[in-house]
Structure 1
Amino acid sequence: MLTTLAALTPVILVIASGYLLARIGLITGEQWRGVEKLAFYALFPAVLFRTISQADFSSFPTLDLGLALLVAILVMAGILLLLQPVIERIWGIAATRFTSIFQGTLRWNVMIALAIADNILGDTGLALMAVAMVFMILPLNIMSIIVLSRYASGPAPSAAKVLKDLYSNPFIISIAAGIVFNISGLTLPFVINDTLEIFSRAALPIGIICVGAGLDLSSLRRPGPALTMGTFLRPVLMPFLGFGFAMLFGVSGPAMVVVIIACSVPCASNSYLLAKQLGGDAKLMAEIITLQTLAATVTIPIALLIFT
């Protein structure tokens, strides 16, 4: 427990630092958008490409890890969709607001997950987390877009738009490029490798500083059923599902730690943008992201203590 807390505390403090930097106005709103773009389009893709291109996936339970996470998110999505009419009837949560609960329960903050995996497991954690991303990013993006198109009031995107969003995603591009390079058997020239390593060292702190800067505590209101459900379904249920399917597929050791991290980190901050673009309840989504990130300082250590 103490080892886990020691690894998580720096990540939590850097998130808090990002929040404070944003509140004192050292960097303004538009400047933060530029920093976020730098992390999203350059720094994190460098981490992913370098990690995947050099990883020895034959030494990892790659398929078992990926399938455990994939089945977990598909089962959770199925449960939520089956319960949507019940949720609306009993708690009066409109379909538009349900889309924020759906995203808040299923999507995950890759930046926080990578930072925690790196702190706890080092390069092995980064490589295993990259495997998790390969199996999770694509289906989660597709499911979120489909659910928003079905239940929200915004116009449904065309198939071409969905495909464009997916193949232009820098995380997906860097993962695909890393896989191709890895399969090719080539080795990165040391100059390129060292350059990417410098990018990688910058990515994790900048990424989680941006997470903190994006928190809006003023958006929180008195918790109602939708906010409570959207905040706590993920940290309470997803680690159980992830652990259960990881056990079923024979996942253990560092790979199990990565499964629990991927299932317990707060939801992705760009869920807000997707909700806004596709007619979801963006305000509720912002509240879920903020409250879930705050709660994660407690729920992540508990999940790791129970399941690893």
Structure 2
Amino acid sequence: MLTTLAALIPVILVIASGYLIARTGLITGEQWRGIEKLAYYVLFPAVLFRIIAQADFNSFPTLNMGLSLVASITLMAVLLLAARPAIERIWGIAPERFTSIFQGTLRWNGMIALAIADNVAGEAGLAMLAVAMVFMIPPLNVASILVLSHYAGTTTPSVARILKDLYTNPFMLSIGAGLVFNLGGISLPFVVDDTLEIFSRAALPIGIICVGAGLDLGSLRRPGPALTMGTFLRPLLMPLLAFGFASLFGVSGDALVVVVIASSVPCASNAYLLARQMGGDAKLMGEIITLQTLAATVTIPLAMLLFT
């Protein structure tokens, strides 16, 4: 437990520093958008490309990790969709608000996950977390788009649109390029590797500073059923499901730690953007992201203590 807290506290403090920097006005709203784009389109893709290009996939249970995570999100999605009529009937939660609960429960913040994996398991943890992204990003993006289009949107996106969202995702592009280098046995030139390593050192702190800057404590309302479910279903149930499937598939050690990290970090901020673009309840989505991130200071250490 103490080891886990020691790894998490620096991440939490950097998130808090991002919140304070944003509230002091040192960096303004539009400037933050530029920094977020830098992290999302340049720094993190550089990290993922370098890690995947050099990873030894035979040193950890790549397929079993992926199966554990995909099985977890699939089962959770099925349970949520099956429960949706009851959720609306009992608590009066409209379909567009349900989409925020859905995203809040399933989507995850890869920036926070990478920072924690790096602190807990070093380069091996980063490599395994990148593998988790390969398995999780496509189904989560597709599921979120389909649920929003069905319950909140006026039109259903085409297969071509969904595929475009996936193959233009900078994380997927960098991971795919890394796989080409790795499987092709192509070594990164010394100068290129050193350059990417410099990018890597900048990516994690800048990324999680942006997470803190995006928190809006002033937007939080008195918690109701929708906000409560959207906030706590993920940290309470997803690590449990992930641990169960990881045990079933024989995942242990650092690989199990990474599976638990990927399933317990809070929802990603791009869920808010998707909700706003597709007619979901963006305000509720923003509240879920904020409250989940605050709760993560307790829920992530608890998940790590119970399941690793």
Asked whether 1:149 is paired with 2:162, we answer no
Equivalent residue for 1:265?
265
Q: Deviations over 1:177-206 (max 9, x none)?
A: 111110001110010000000000000000
How many equivalent residue pairs?
Answer: 308
Give 1:155 shift. 3.3
Equivalent residue for 2:121?
121
Contact 1:99 1:151 in 2 (8 A): yes
Give 1:156 shift. 2.8
Equivalent residue for 1:198?
198
Q: Which residues of 2 match residues 294-305 of structure 1 at below 5 A?
A: 294-305=294-305
Q: Which residues of 2 match residues 173-192 of structure 1 at below 5 A?
A: 173-192=173-192
1 CA distance for matches of 2:236 and 2:154? 30
Equivalent residue for 1:166?
166
Q: Which residues of 2 match residues 1-308 of structure 1 at below 5 A?
A: 1-308=1-308
2 CA distance for matches of 1:189 and 1:169? 25
1 CA distance for matches of 2:56 and 2:158? 38
Q: Deviations over 1:20-73 (max 9, x none)?
A: 000000000000000000000000000000000000001110000010000000
2 CA distance for matches of 1:288 and 1:278? 17
Give 1:154 shift. 4.2
Which moved further from structure 2: 174-183 or 243-252?
Answer: 174-183
Identity %: 77
2 CA distance for matches of 1:36 and 1:235? 25
Q: Deviations over 1:97-147 (max 9, x none)?
A: 000000000000000000000001000000000110000001000000000
Q: Read off the aligned partner of 1:104 and give its amino acid letter.
A: G
Q: Read off the aligned partner of 1:100 and give its amino acid letter.
A: S
Q: 2:246 aligns to what SS in structure 1? A: helix
1 CA distance for matches of 2:216 and 2:153? 25
Q: 1:233 aligns to what SS in structure 2? A: helix
Runs of 5+ unmatched residues, structure 1 = none
Q: Read off the aligned partner of 1:35 and give its amino acid letter.
A: I
1 CA distance for matches of 2:58 and 2:188? 19
Q: Read off the aligned partner of 1:92 and give its amino acid letter.
A: G
1 CA distance for matches of 2:96 and 2:282? 10
Contact 1:154 1:280 in 2 (8 A): no
